[in-house]
Each structure stands twice: as structure tokens, then as C-alpha cells.
Chains A and B, each alone.
Chain A
């Protein structure tokens, strides 16, 4: 897909679904695994994340292209703070239960690595319009996983839906802990991969996990490379 001519729909399909930020790119895991324990929590985190990512990518594309990378990366956190701090302040005043439920994961949204990765990989290299589209596409991908995980954990971990009790379900409070979140992410990642294998086999290569800000920086930082070159001799199973 030619990125310069890509529509918002194409970008949501590629960056939001095929290369999902959580399930494929393995970025921004902390709040998903630990804080998305109910639909309300997930919705709150999604809203904060989406606004901060859209703001961050737009500003990065607009005025930060000439700034050195090490300075830019701190500026992204400051931009996130502009969204996170007022939200924290208002929640602490008016919705203490949600504030307590999100705990320290709410302020830590200012350090969500996905903002940094998308700004560095995309926004500083592209136009404002494309960066805006990219931020929406990534927000859709990230928030859909966040809400799905919040929903599954609330129903099966807490036995409730939007706070209302569901009879005969619940009791697995392990699902509310970070390891429960990671299990669900793993299962969703497998489901996502199976869908790509079945419906979009030509896109399978794009689902390879990459861990670099800039592809030219380090070709070794992919799981495929690691599998072929580092882990080959140790394979025992």
C-alpha cells in the first residue's frame, strides 16, 4: 500500500488490524495487561490514550521534525501529560472510585511507549494529515484490544458487566491480575493470527513483530531474526 495515497480506511485496516499495536507490535502492554480490568476502566484509558496519541502525532508532524530525537521523546511525554494530568485532577475530585480503580496506571499513561513509537516511526517522517490518520488507526487498534480485554476480564474475572452482576459467571479473580491480562492478550494474539492466516495470507509477513523505532537502526531486533540466528541452537522442544 502506498502510504502517501492511503485513505483512513486503508490505514485502519493495516495499522489497526493487520499490524495491531498490542497483538502484533507488542507495544504499550503495561496498561492493557494490568489496568484494563473492567469496561469502564478500559473506556477511560482508551479515551485518554486516543486524545494523547492524536495530539502527540499531530504536534510531532507539525513542529518536531527538526528537533533531536532524544529531546523529542521527552516532549512526547510532556504532551501526554497535558492530557493525563487534567484527567487525573478531575477524576480525583469527581470520580474517586474510577481514580482508585485505575491506580498508578493512570499517570503512567503519560509514558505509554506506543505514543513514542508511532511518533518516531511515522509522524516525524510524514505529513500532518497522514500522521493524524495514523494516530486514529493506531487508536482504533489499541482501544479495540483494550476494551475487548476489559470486557472479558470484567465478565469472567469479576462476574459483572458494567457493574451489574451476571449470575453463574465469575470467580476467576486471577484474570484481574496482570498475568490474567497477559493470558488473554496471548489468546487474542493467536486468534488474530489465525484470522490473518485464513483471510489475509498475503499479509502474514506484515504481522512479524518488530522492536525498533527506525528500521535502519537495527535489523537484528525482530523475533524472526532472533529465531533464525540466536535461538536455533537452543531449541529443545
Chain B
């Protein structure tokens, strides 16, 4: 039962306390893209949750093997990369056979798999010496964190988009960057980091 509570705690941590999109900037480009296309958010997030969880679990299992565990960081990355590519191609081929999807679905699948957020999870798990349960939780939680980040960006941007109080050079993309920076600062504040030395 311990692994289940480890998983829940890690997922909670990844979503609320250390939202990886805001605190580390992982998958930020995709989160901003999804903020402008809210209808496609949940399908994209579903794919990210799938890839990040499955990759995190398999990479953690491989990390328990002594022959892999003793390798240096570069070789570890190479192994994790290979795992993600294999998962991606298996998923892609199965999708083509079973779902017979259109080109957009396959493009979205690629954008979700080849994402910094997905690849960051196994690397973070290895650095923080996560347990098996924590690895699953971080993988799942980071996908939920992606949804939270995209919704917050979308909602916030909708409030400031038309404001005439914002000077012309700051309207649009610059305002969005600064708004995301404020959100990121709020999340960093939860972790207790200081702004001034």
C-alpha cells in the first residue's frame, strides 16, 4: 500500500507544490499553444499524461537493473531517449491499426511525445531517487500540471487580452509572457525560494 500513497503524494506535489510547467519551464511552449486552443486541451493533456507516465514507469524499472544503474548520466539519457522513441512508435503503429486516425491526430501524438515535459520526468525521477510509486505519481501529476498550467494561462490571458490600459508594445505576446512569469513566481513562492539573495 505504501507505493500507492507515495504515488498520490508525488502526484499532488507535481501538480500543486511544484508545477513543472511553471517551476521548470518544461513543456511551456505546448502549454501556451494549448491556452489559445482550449477545445483541444484535454486530448493533448491525455496524450502527455500517457507518455509521461508510461515513460517514467519503464525508465524507473530499467533504473533498478544494476547494469543500467551504474551508467553515467549521458548513457542514462540515451537509454531514456530510446525508451520514449520505442513507446512512441509502438503507440503510433497501434493507433494507425486500431483507431485509423487522421493526420492531425498523428501530428498531435508526435508533438505530445517529443515534448520536454515528457522527457524531463524520468530524468527528474532519477535525480531525486524516486521510488516506483513516486515515479508513477510524478508522471501522472505532471500531465495534470500541464492541464492546470494551460487553463490558468488561457483564463488569465482572456482577462488581459483587450485591456486598453496595457501599453501598445506590451499587448498580446509580451503581456502573456509577463503573466506566465507572475504565475511561475507564485508557484516558486510555494516552494519557499527567495527572490532576493
The answer to whether A and B come from one shared complex is yes
A189 CA to B181 CA, complexed, in Å = 13
Known: A88-B74, A111-B115, A218-B37. A182 touches B158 (CB 8 A): no
Q: Is A12 among interface residues, defined by CB-CB distance under 8 A?
A: no
B119 lies within 8 A of A171 (CB):
no
A85 lies within 8 A of B158 (CB):
no
A189 lies within 8 A of B159 (CB):
no
Q: Give residues of chain B (149-179) contacting chain A, Cβ–Cβ below 8 Å.
A: 155, 157-163, 165, 167-170, 172-178
Binds A, one of B7-15, B55-63, B120-128: B120-128
Residue among A170, A185, A189, A232 facing the most chain B CB atoms (10 A cut-off): A189
A104 lies within 8 A of B185 (CB):
no
Closest CB in chain A relative to B80 CB, distance in Å = 8
Q: Is B46 among interface residues, defined by CB-CB distance under 8 A?
A: no
Chain A residues whose C-beta falls within 8 Å of the C-beta of B180 in the assembled complex: 182
Task: Determine which of B74, B162, B188 lies in contact with A177 in the assembled complex, contact meaning CB atoms within 8 Å.
Answer: B188
Could you mark each residue 162-201 of chain A with 1 if its beta carbon is under 8 Å from any beta carbon of chain B, else 0? 0000000011111001111111011101110110010000
B195 lies within 8 A of A193 (CB):
no
Q: Give residues of chain A (197-237) contacting chain B, Cβ–Cβ below 8 Å.
A: 197, 208-209, 211, 213, 217-218, 220-223, 225-227, 230-232, 234-237
B174 lies within 8 A of A189 (CB):
yes
B178 lies within 8 A of A77 (CB):
no
A78 CA to B110 CA, complexed, in Å = 13
Q: Is B68 among interface residues, defined by CB-CB distance under 8 A?
A: no
Q: Is A40 among interface residues, defined by CB-CB distance under 8 A?
A: no
A213 CA to B123 CA, complexed, in Å = 28
Closest CB in chain B relative to A165 CB, distance in Å = 13
Chain B residues whose C-beta falls within 8 Å of the C-beta of A26 in the assembled complex: 29, 32-33, 173, 176
Chain B residues whose C-beta falls within 8 Å of the C-beta of A223 in the assembled complex: 36, 161, 172-173, 176
A74 lies within 8 A of B89 (CB):
yes
Known: A189-B174, A223-B36, A231-B161. A179 touches B127 (CB 8 A): no
Q: Is B78 among interface residues, defined by CB-CB distance under 8 A?
A: yes
Q: Is A67 among interface residues, defined by CB-CB distance under 8 A?
A: no
A168 CA to B137 CA, complexed, in Å = 45
Task: Determine which of A172, A187, A211 lies in contact with B195 in the assembled complex, contact meaning CB atoms within 8 Å.
Answer: A172
Q: Give residues of chain A (91-132) contacting chain B, Cβ–Cβ below 8 Å.
A: 92, 99, 104, 107-108, 110-113, 116
Known: A110-B81, A218-B37. A178 touches B195 (CB 8 A): no
Closest CB in chain B relative to A80 CB, distance in Å = 10
A71 CA to B95 CA, complexed, in Å = 13
A92 lies within 8 A of B36 (CB):
no
Q: Is A24 among interface residues, defined by CB-CB distance under 8 A?
A: yes
Q: Is B147 among interface residues, defined by CB-CB distance under 8 A?
A: no
A96 CA to B113 CA, complexed, in Å = 29
Chain A residues whose C-beta falls within 8 Å of the C-beta of B123 in the assembled complex: 104, 107-108
A197 lies within 8 A of B188 (CB):
no
B74 lies within 8 A of A85 (CB):
yes
Closest CB in chain B relative to A170 CB, distance in Å = 7
B85 lies within 8 A of A179 (CB):
no
Residue among B23, B103, B113, B195 facing the most chain A CB atoms (10 A cut-off): B195
Known: A74-B110, A177-B188, A223-B172. A183 touches B193 (CB 8 A): no
A23 CA to B170 CA, complexed, in Å = 12
Q: Is B2 among interface residues, defined by CB-CB distance under 8 A?
A: no
A209 CA to B33 CA, complexed, in Å = 10
A-B contact list, 26 entries, CB within 8 Å:
A26-B32, A34-B25, A70-B107, A70-B109, A74-B88, A81-B78, A92-B73, A104-B120, A104-B127, A107-B77, A113-B114, A172-B197, A174-B185, A174-B193, A174-B194, A179-B182, A182-B181, A185-B177, A191-B169, A211-B32, A221-B33, A221-B37, A231-B158, A234-B158, A235-B158, A235-B162
